[in-house]
Structure 1
Amino acid sequence: MNIIIRKAIESDSGGIWSLMKELAIYEKYINSFVITPEIVRANGFKKNPPDFYCLVADDNQKIAGILVYYYLPFTAQNKPSLFIKELYVDTTYRGHKIGEKLMLALKEEAVNNNCGQIKWTVAPWNEGGIRFYNKLGAKENNDWLNYEWNIVNND
C-alpha cells in the first residue's frame, strides 16, 4: 500500500462520490442523498470558486479516503476557518492511519491559509469518530448548540 495524500483533481470525482455515498449509508442519510458524480465534478471542480475542496488518500489511482471541506472566510477573529463536511476512509483501508494523515494535511492547509480554526461536527453515536478526534487532540465544543432549518423547494 502506497498512500499519497493530495488535493483532489477533477478525474477523482467518481471516487469521491463513491465514498460520499458510502458515508451516507454509514450515517443513515442515504434516503436524502442526491449527490452524483456530475454534481461533484460541477460543484467541486468546474465552479470558481468551488463549493468545496477535497483532499484524497490515493492508493495507485484508487481513492482510499476523502476529506471534504470548505472555507468560512469571515470570523470574529478576522481569520478564516476551515469546516470539515466529510471525512471517510474506505473500510478496506482502515487501520492504516489514513484518517490521521488526511487531518494532518488539512491542518497544514489551514496554516498555509492563515486559518484560525478547523471545525466539524460528529454524530453522538459515532464513538469511533469521537475517539479518533480526541486522540488527535481535538476538543469538544459545548459552547454552542447546532441548529438546522430545512428549506423545502416548492418549484
Structure 2
Amino acid sequence: MSTEQLIINVRKAEASDSDKIWILMKELAVFEHYIDSFAITPEIVLESGFKKSPPDFYSIVAEHDSVIVGMLVYYFLPYTAQNKPSIYLKELYVDQNYRGQKIGEQLMGALRTEAENNNCGQIKWTVAPWNEAGKKFYERLGANENTEWLNYEWNISK
C-alpha cells in the first residue's frame, strides 16, 4: 500500500459479510499459529454471529472500496464485580496488504464507542507474548498490560 491514507468505512458487520469475516479469521489463525485446530466455517460464522438470537459474538468490519479489509470480533461479559458489563475482544485482524493505514485503530475506536454505548466498564483481551507488534499497537492506544492475573484454560476433549 502507498503511504496515502485510504478512505475506510468502519461499520457493524452484517450477515452478508460472513464469508469475508471467515477468511480473515482463518488468516488470523495462520498468523497466530493455531490453524491446525481452527474449526470455524463460513456457515458457523453466519449462524453463530448473525442468525442466532442473541448471537454468540458481534463483529465490526473495516472496508475500502466495498472490500472488507479488517475485522474485529467481540462479545459481552454481562456481569462483573463493578456491576457493569465488559466487552471481550476475541479477534482483531487487518489484511496484511492494508496494514499501516490506522485501520486497527479505527476498529478499536469503534469498539470503544460500542463499549460506551452499552455502559461497559472495560474492554478486555489477550495478546500472544511473542506478538511484539500487537503489544506495541495496544500500548499506543493507551491500553495497559494486566500483570495481576494469569490466564488459565481447561481443555475438554472428547
Shared fold per TM-score greater than 0.5 = yes
Normalising by structure 2, report the TM-score.
0.95
CA apart distance, 1:58: 1.3
Unaligned runs of 5+ in 1: none
Give a deviation string over 1:61-81, Cα, whole Å, max 9, x none: 211000100000000000000
Structure 1 distance, partners of 2:83, 2:41, is: 35
| Structure 2: distance between partners of 1:63 and 1:86 | 15
Q: Distance in 2 between matches of 1:60 and 1:115?
A: 32
Partner of 1:119: 124
Whole-Å separation in 1 of the counterparts to 2:125 and 2:27:
19
> Are 1:83 and 2:78 counterparts?
no
| Residue equivalent to 2:112 | 107
Name the counterpart of 1:19. 24
- 1:39 matched to 2:59? The reply is no
- 1:51 maps to 56
- Cα displacement string for residues 116-147 of structure 1 (whole angstroms, at most 9, x for unaligned residues): 00000000000000000000000000110000
State the TM-score, normalizing by the size of structure 1: 0.97
What is the Cα deviation at residue 20 of structure 1?
Answer: 0.2
Report the Cα offset of residue 97 of structure 1.
0.1
Gaps of 5+ in 2: 1-5
Q: Size of the alignment, in residue pairs?
A: 153
How far apart, CA to CA, are the structure 1 residues paired with 2:145 and 2:152?
Answer: 17
Whole-angstrom distance in 2 between the partners of 1:67 and 1:10: 15
